[in-house]
Amino acid sequence: MNKTVVSPLFAGAALLAVLALGGCEDVSTELKAPTYKTGIAQTETRISAFKAAFPQQHASYMKNDEDKVMTEYKGSVPYHKNDDVNPLPKGFKHAQPYLKNLWLGYPFMYEYNETRGHTHAVEDFVNIDRLNRFGADGKGKMPATCWNCKTPKMMTWVAQYGDAFWSKDVNEFRGKESIDARDETIGCANCHDPATMELRLYSEPLKDWLKRSGQDWNKLSRNEKRTLVCAQCHVEYYFTHQDNGPKLRPVFPWDNGKNPEDIYQYYKGHGAKGPDGKPGPFVDWVHAASKVGMIKMQHPDYETFQDGPHGAAGVSCADCHMQYVREDGKKISSHWMTSPMKDPEMRACRQCHADKTAEYLRSRVLYTQEKAYKQLIKAEELSVKAHEAVRLANAYDGPRPENYEALMTEAREMVRKGQLFWDYVSAENSMGFHNPVKTMNTLAVSLECSNRAVALATEATQFTIAPVMAKDIKEVVPPILEMSRKLQQDADFLQKNPWTKILPVLPKADQVWDGQNRLKSDAARP
Amino acid sequence: MGIPRHGPWLKWLAGGVVAGMALLGVLAYAMTTTDSRPFCSTCHIMEEAAVTQKMGTHARLACNECHAPHNLLVKLPFKAQEGLRDFWGNITGKDVPHPVSLHTRDVVNANCKACHAQTNVNVASMDAKPYCVDCHRNVAHMRMRPISTRTVAYE
């Protein structure tokens, strides 16, 4: 018999066998995710150690290397997020031109880029100008806490050093002898128990939060875990002030709630303790132009999302960012965590929105993002104006009104609050989509606060700065396009912008670190 | 000359009737079994559909109460055709089509009306939306629920 006869016969026989053997067993509605006995050591941190047992997930994860595709507002090209002048890969049409001004005096003014896949996390970390690479002592001038969301080696280091780890210098762990940039970047062990591959937390600050809020990881649903593994890192955080606990240990500021107003209220405390023994307001840095004690927001993706239309309905991060894909007939979770907008078919969305076309879904995402981006730019412009108003009012030496100090205290508070609010939106990575109404509301409050700051500072100067405040802010304070640790060593360069003039000139120094390589010999170490 | 009472033709007739009834019984049983959730979900690819159906209000109905025409003359060729297509899709590693074909949607919608005609007799409920599930969305396998409540890996 030839093949054309055998195949249908075989198929028929198989069908009958299936009918006879399996055809009477009903499904169970208790869904059980597969678990394994891998034999991989509990302390394993290398991605390559998981490749043999999980080739499909590994291959899917390696797709995170892609860093060429942009969407309308996001994507994977690490362009400078303030640069709307240069073409890709340096700048992008939907950049935020005032970021360097707004972060004046803080490391974010040196470099802040669009994100790329997890596979690049350590690589991008050791190349960012925010960490000092010019110190003759080789120090980064930032705490080792900065490693917290970059590598599963955190488990090794925390076990080794305990709470002493956080306040060590970040560059102590930078060299190739400390970490393999490719193999020990964010990987399997950050979300999986290597022995069983069950979802697990590696994150100290998230475990702290679960403890503080009376939750037990082992009692949480699989659905909640599919969000919380991301919430280990895609959250706003701060470093503990030494007056209040282990120095520079990371904390998620969620005790009042996860909305911008809750977080703003939280940061009225948790700073350095005053003479009365009570913690004062927390301050990330003092803005170099306005001298206001500022709060920096960092990627509050989880906080934004959890009470949005999807989050409140119980949809998890993984539902959209790790959709099930069928490869070689096997259904696995995609481990390519990237913009769902890259897929022309929008398949992740259509697991639920099966009745919608990809074009329609895309247009609904853009409907939100376009509005959020436009208002975000306006909120940032007004925030710059608020800093400038306070800066001018600080320097005002004319006849002051009686309530000058009260007006200025309130104006500074409004600058701080206005910026916290727009930064909550700006630092979040969905350009509004994760929570459209909260995004627009947050920007509205930001505009209100910055506007109030301008009005108060204007009043404090007997309205003498009103003519300046009436001008287009881009004429008064032009956006700072270029700024780096190297450029700050150049006194002439700093003269080119009214706000960079304010910055101190850094001492001339050569670069000491290039990625993981120390350029100067060890002999140069003090 | 009368008809012989014990002629061989009678044995053949009686045997044929019994055999025919037995065959019909087997076929009827096979048709019913292959309409049902336990049969449909023997292919892992159908587990999400089976699980969400079992959790829903239509749990006690067979899959083909919705997914095949009720008219037997139409149903027989329909099942044969769909069965072969699914069989082929399964052995070549294809995923469940998303969204389902227009043909299947029409069949399912006709079956909504077949059971729920009385509820809708005084309203023009088929005028505004082409399908009943355009409003009764979660009847379509609870697709607005979080993924983890519907499915797991390796199905």
Q: Compute how many other C-beta atoms are within 10 angstroms of the C-beta atom of residue A395.
A: 9
Interface predicted TM-score (ipTM): 0.90
Q: Which of residues 225-244 of A touch B (CB under 8 A)?
A: 226
Residues 6+ apart with CB under 8 A from A70: A76, A77, A88, A92
B71 annotated to a ligand binding site? no
Among A40-44, A503-507, B54-58, B97-101, the range scoring the smallest mean pLDDT is B97-101
> What does the alpha-carbon distance between residue A16 and residue A33 come to, in Å, rounded to a whole number?
29
Terminal-to-terminal C-alpha distance of chain A = 85
Mutation target for A interface from B35, B42, B91: give the one with most A CBs within 10 A: B42
By the CB < 8 Å criterion, does A318 face chain B? yes
Of B38, B93, B98, the CB nearest to A24: B38
Count of all residues that appear for chain B in the document? 155
Q: What's residue A327's pLDDT?
A: 80
pLDDT at A1: 44
Split at pLDDT 50, 70, 90, the class of A521 is low
B3: closest CA of chain A, how far (Å): 45
* Region of residue A30 (left: phi > 0; alpha: psi -120 to 50; beta: else): beta
Name the minimum distance, in Å, from the CA of B41 to any CA of chain A: 7
Distance CA B38, CA A283 (A): 62
Report which of residues A164 and A16 the model is more confident about: A164
Provide the percentage of residues in chain A whose pLDDT is more than 70: 94
* Average pLDDT in chain A: 95
- Write A394-400 long-range contacts (CB < 8 A, 24+): A394/A290, A394/A291, A396/A460, A396/A461, A396/A464, A396/A465, A398/A461, A398/A462, A398/A464, A399/A462, A400/A460, A400/A462
Question: DSSP character for A232?
Answer: T
End-to-end CA distance of chain B: 71
- Alpha carbon separation from A216 to A188, A306, A435 (Å, rounded): 22, 19, 27
Task: Report the distance separating Cα A475 and Cα A99, nearest Å.
Answer: 16
Find the residue in B nearest to A326 (Cα): B95
User: How far, in Å, CA of A315 to CA of B145, rounded?
Assistant: 7
Give the pLDDT band (50/70/90) at residue A163.
very high
**Contact yes or no for A427/A443 (Cβ under 8 A):** no
Within 8 A of A26 by CB-CB distance, chain B residues are: 37-38, 41, 50, 54
Separation CA A449–CA A418 (nearest Å): 5
pLDDT at B5 over 80: no
Q: What is the pLDDT of residue B97?
A: 76
Q: State the pLDDT confidence band at A2, using cuts at 50, 70 and 90.
A: low
d(CA B108, CA B118): 17
Known binding residue B112? Answer is: yes
- A331 interface with B at CB cutoff 8 Å: yes
More confident: B97 or A190: A190
User: Which of A22, A226, A326 comes nearest B148 by C-beta?
Assistant: A226
Give the model's confidence band at A19: pLDDT under 50 very low, under 70 low, under 90 confident, else very high.
low
What is residue A351's three-state secondary structure? coil
Residue A429 tokens read as 């990575």
Q: Which chain B residues are within 8 Å of A222, Cβ to Cβ?
A: 148
Question: pLDDT tens for residues A409-458?
Answer: 999 999 999 999 999 999 999 999 999 999 999 999 999 999 999 999 99
pLDDT digits 0-9 by tens, A277-333 = 999 999 999 999 999 999 999 999 999 999 999 999 999 999 999 999 988 778 999
Beta bridge pairs of residue A409: none
Q: Which residues of A74-104 are buried (b: 16+ CB within 10 A; e: fewer)?
A: bbbbbbbbbbbeeeeeebbebbbbbbbbbbb
Average pLDDT, integer, range A468-476: 97
Nearest to A166 by CA among A92, A239, A227: A239
- DSSP state for residue B136 in the 8-state scheme: S
- B113 annotated binding-site participant: no
Query: For residue A8, is pLDDT > 90?
Result: no
| pLDDT given for residue B63 in this prediction | 97
> Å from B77 to nearest chain A CA?
17
pTM above 0.90, yes or no: yes
* Band of residue B101 on the pLDDT scale cut at 50, 70, 90: confident
Domains located in chain B, CATH noted: 12-149 (1.10.3820.10)
Beta carbons of A138 and A168 less than 8 angstroms apart: no
Q: Is the pLDDT assigned to residue A526 strictly greater than 50?
A: no
CA distance B8 to chain A (A): 36
The per-residue pLDDT for B3 is: 61
Under 8 Å between Cβ of A195 and A42: yes
Which residues on chain A are in Cβ contact (under 8 Å) with B47?
Answer: 27
Coil, strand or helix: which one is A350? helix
Residue A524: count other Cβ atoms within 10 Å of its Cβ.
12
Which residues have a Cβ under 8 Å from the Cβ of A382 and sit 6 or more positions away? A418, A446, A447, A450, A451, A454, A473
Residue B141 annotated as binding? Answer: yes
Q: Is A306 on the interface with B (CB under 8 A)?
A: no
HEC profile of A295-338? CCCCCCHHHHHCCCCCCCCCCCHHHHHCCEEEECCEEEECCCCC
| B residues 97..116 contacting A (CB < 8 A) | 98-100
List pLDDT tens digits, range A196-231. 999 999 999 999 999 999 999 999 999 999 999 999
Mark which residues 19-38 of B lie under 8 Å from A by CB: 30, 33-34, 37-38
Chain B residues with CB under 8 Å of A305 CB are none
**Which residues on chain B are in Cβ contact (under 8 Å) with A319?**
146-148
Q: Is B115 one of the annotated binding-site residues? A: yes
**Average of per-residue pLDDT values in chain B:** 92
Structure token digits, residue A332? 């696995």
Cβ(A140)–Cβ(A170) under 8 Å?
yes
Query: Residue A238: which H helix or E strand, with range?
Result: strand A238-239
- At A404, which helix (H) or strand (E)? helix A404-426
For chain A, say whether B8 makes contact (Cβ under 8 Å).
no
Contact yes or no for B42 and A31 at CB 8 A: no
Kindly list the residues from chain B whose CB atom is less than 8 angstroms away from the CB atom of residue A329.
93
Q: Do A26 and B154 touch (CB under 8 A)?
A: no
Residue B61: which residues within 8 A CB-CB, separation 6 or more?
Answer: none
Calpha distance A281→A146 (Å, rounded): 22
Which residues partner with A326 through β-bridges? A331
Q: Nearest CA to CA, how far is B12 from chain A (Å)?
A: 30
The nearest CA of chain B is from the CA of A229 a distance in Å of 14
A27 CB neighbours in chain B (<8 A) are: 37-38, 41, 47, 50-51, 54
- Shortest Cα distance, chain A CAs vs residue B11, angstroms: 32
Contacts of B148 in chain A (CB under 8 A): 31, 221-223, 226, 316, 318-319
Residue of B nearest to A315 (CA): B146
Q: Where are the alpha helices (H) located in A326-399, listed in sequence order?
A: 347-350, 358-395
Contact A330 B154 (CB under 8 A): yes
Q: Which residues of A touch B153 (CB under 8 A)?
A: 33-34, 324, 331-333
pLDDT at B155: 72
Token digits for A305?
């999302």
Rounded to an integer, the average pLDDT of A397-419 is 97
List of residues 6+ apart from A209 with CB closer than 8 A: A252, A254
Q: Say which amino acid occupies B80.
A: A
Q: Is B67 annotated as a binding residue?
A: yes
- Do the annotations mark residue B40 as ligand-binding? yes
Q: How many CB atoms lie within 10 A of CB B133?
A: 18
A139-143 long-range contacts (CB < 8 A, ≥24 apart) are A139/A169, A139/A171, A140/A169, A140/A170, A140/A171, A140/A174, A140/A513, A141/A169, A142/A107, A142/A169, A142/A170, A143/A167, A143/A168, A143/A169, A143/A170, A143/A239, A143/A248
- For residue B15, the tally of other CB atoms under 10 A from its CB is 10
**Residues of A in Cβ contact (< 8 Å) with B39:** 19, 23-24
Residue B147's closest chain A neighbor by CA?
Answer: A319
Report DSSP state, residue A241.
P
Model confidence at A523, pLDDT cuts 50, 70, 90, reads very low
What is residue A343's DSSP assignment? -
Cβ of A27 within 8 Å of Cβ of B41? The answer is: yes
